[in-house]
Amino acid sequence: MTAQLIDGKSIAATLDEKVAEETANFKKRVGRAPGLAAVLVGADPASEIYVRNKVRRTQKAGLESFEHRLSAETEEAELLALVDRLNKDEAVDGILVQLPLPSQIDSARVLNAISPEKDVDGFHPVNAGRLATGLQALVPCTPLGCLIMAERQFEKIDGVESVVVGRSNIVGKPMVQLLISRRATVTVVHSATADISAHTRRADLLVVAAGRPKLIGGDQIKPGGVVIDVGINRLDNGKIVGDVAFDEAKEVARAITPVPGGVGPMTIACLLVNTLTAACRRKGLADPACTPRIIATR
């Protein structure tokens, strides 16, 4: 069997168009565009590329983009002062601080200083707690993008046997919460799991976010399963690969995301959705139609 490719680029382009339409409506009602402030500290080449792509897509969808570039020597207090100014800036609806931050800065302290209502990355403990307890939240973009792609592969996610590889705060844990909110049956495995294959082989939905190239081979995938590969790994030869051995996996799975061109474009699409959503909520407007309904149901 050769798996269907889950085309993240094309799904993301459709989502971007919806955001653009609803952004135009927001502009008419509020008199300004939703604003996203992106903060980049230092000149990490990968972060530069991510921020450039985010700014380009933000502007293309008609949102206002504010870029703040600080030197690698920036002190934590200076960054916290910038976050404070952005929290108070009426034209800014979403704040994104690109990770990783230089070692002199405590990332958690900075992320926790972002106002939860402008936390479009969904990393603030208030948003994590709200997601975990089934309240309205801003949801981390990468797992949200994975959920949107996964939902297109199943009639409904209820009860789907799902395995998440990785338990980080930015991907694995919120992915688990999102799947639970959709009433999937979820197992999470990580570096202390004795036999990962025993779990991954029974996954009808497998989401892999470990940051280890070729961690999951074809023999670790359930025939006919759906595989979502979050990993982005740069090999010594410069090639970008995921965490799944794609060539083997595509012969076993029913559907699989490519790397690049799978989860990555969806992450940015969800950032735009979150910025528009945050803007609407701040203005007391109903959530836009493109905002996925995440609130847990019984």
Near ligand NDP by CB under 6 A, which window of 36-44, 107-115, 177-185, 210-218? 210-218
121 is catalytic: yes
| Tokens (6 digits) for 131 | 């997601």
3-class SS letters over the chain:
CCCEECCHHHHHHHHHHHHHHHHHHHHHHHCCCCEEEEEEECCCHHHHHHHHHHHHHHHHCCCEEEEEEECCCCCHHHHHHHHHHHHHCCCCCEEEECCCCCCCCCHHHHHHHCCHHHCCCCCCHHHHHHHHCCCCCCCCHHHHHHHHHHHCCCCCCCCCEEEEECCCCCCHHHHHHHHHHCCCEEEEECCCCCCHHHHHCCCCEEEECCCCCCCECHHHCCCCCEEEECCCEECCCCCEECCECHHHHCCCCCEECCCCCCHHHHHHHHHHHHHHHHHHHHCCCCCCCCCCCCCCCC
| Minimal distance, residue 225 CB to ligand NDP, in Å | 17
Binding segment for ligand NDP (CB under 6 A), chosen from 33-41, 70-78, 186-194, 220-228, is 186-194
Of the residues 120, 171, 184, 228, which one makes contact with ligand NDP according to CB under 6 A: 171
Q: Minimum Å distance from CB 100 to ligand NDP?
A: 10
Distant-in-sequence, close-in-space partners of 286: CB < 8 Å, separation ≥ 6: 280
The size of the interface with ligand NDP (CB under 6 A), counted in residues, is: 25
Q: Does 166 bind ligand NDP (CB under 6 A)?
A: yes
Catalytic site includes residue 118:
no
Binding-site member from 3, 196, 245, 279 for ligand NDP (CB under 6 A)? 196
Choose, by CB under 6 A, the member of 79, 170, 270, 272 that binds ligand NDP: 170
Among 51, 138, 206, 215, binds ligand NDP (CB under 6 A): 215
Q: Smallest gap, in angstroms, from Cβ of residue 280 to ligand NDP?
A: 24
* Active-site residue (options: 16, 93, 119, 121): 121
16, 18, 98, 204: the active-site residue: 98
Per-residue string for binding with ligand NDP, 230-259, x by CB under 6 A? Answer: xxxx--------------------------
Q: Select 26 or 246, whichever has its Cβ closest to ligand NDP.
A: 246
Closer to ligand NDP by Cβ: residue 82 or 232: 232
Handedness of CA 5, 8, 9, 13 (dihedral sign): positive
Catalytic residue flag (residue 4): no
What residues are annotated to the active site? 54, 98, 121
**Residues in the site for ligand NDP, rule: CB under 6 A?**
142, 165-168, 170-172, 189-192, 196, 209-212, 215, 230-233, 263-264, 267
